[in-house]
Amino acid sequence: MARPTDGAPRLPGVEFTDPGLLVQALTHRSAASIHNERLEFLGDALVNLIVAEALYAHWPKADEGTLTRARAELVRESSLAAIARHMQLGEKLILGPGEMKSGGHRRDSILADALEAIIGAIHLDAGFEACRAAVLPWFEAAIAALPPPNKLGKDGKTRLQEWVQARQKPLPVYRLLAESGDEHAKQFSVACTLADPPMECVGEGHSRRAAEQVAAERILATLDPN
């Protein structure tokens, strides 16, 4: 069974009264009979509540459907996995030999589940107020980067494709420019190119898909500043 190599696991900005809860939150079912699935169940409910409350305050005039779509975007598996990678959770996960060999510490599903389990563990260790105070900063940048409510629901690549198709123009082309960083913190750079009007924007992200979305959003911002 693979365990963290730096002694007891730690998280920046979070101190556990009961470190065993953090160990359990980082333990995949492949590694031990006491694992993180129950904590993940609790953390899933908590992260939805914390993000919903933050969105309610962020967009005081948005309707229920808009808030629901925004929350789904922020708490989807890939979004949670990106936060987990930023926190370097992959290297702290406790995995069975099979999952370790197959690269489980890089898998979105395992990273997202572990993040939710950690949220559940913080709540059990310190209560809801402390949990919200610890977790909310993880999402603040993503909330601030959300598109306007009237444009929410379709990602940048979809909206850009619709824009060119509506004008019978060639489809955008995405090209990987660079891939760098350690496995737990990969960074991708992707160019999005339009033939008509001729332009190119570059996006960066923790996955190729995320970088493509950023590049498409930058093209859209140039085409339609509003």
Rounded Cα–Cα distance for residues 130 and 41 (Å): 19
155 in a known ligand binding site: no
Cβ atoms 112, 28 nearer than 8 A: no
129 is catalytic: no
116 in a known ligand binding site: yes
Q: DSSP string of 61-75?
A: T--HHHHHHHHHHHH
182 is catalytic: no
Per-residue tokens: 57: 């305050």
Catalytic residue among 73, 116, 212, 217: 116
Cβ atoms 176, 190 nearer than 8 A: yes
Catalytic residue among 6, 15, 18, 44: 44
108 in a known ligand binding site: no
Q: Where are the strands (E) in 116-197, listed by range?
A: 173-180, 187-195
List the one residue out of 220, 226, 176, 168 whose CA is nearest residue 199.
Answer: 220
Phi and psi torsions of 180, nearest 5°: -145, 170
Q: Where are the strands (E) in the chain, listed by range?
A: 173-180, 187-195, 198-205
For the annotated catalytic residues, the residue numbers are 44, 116
Annotated binding site for Mg(2+): which residue ranges? 40, 113, 116
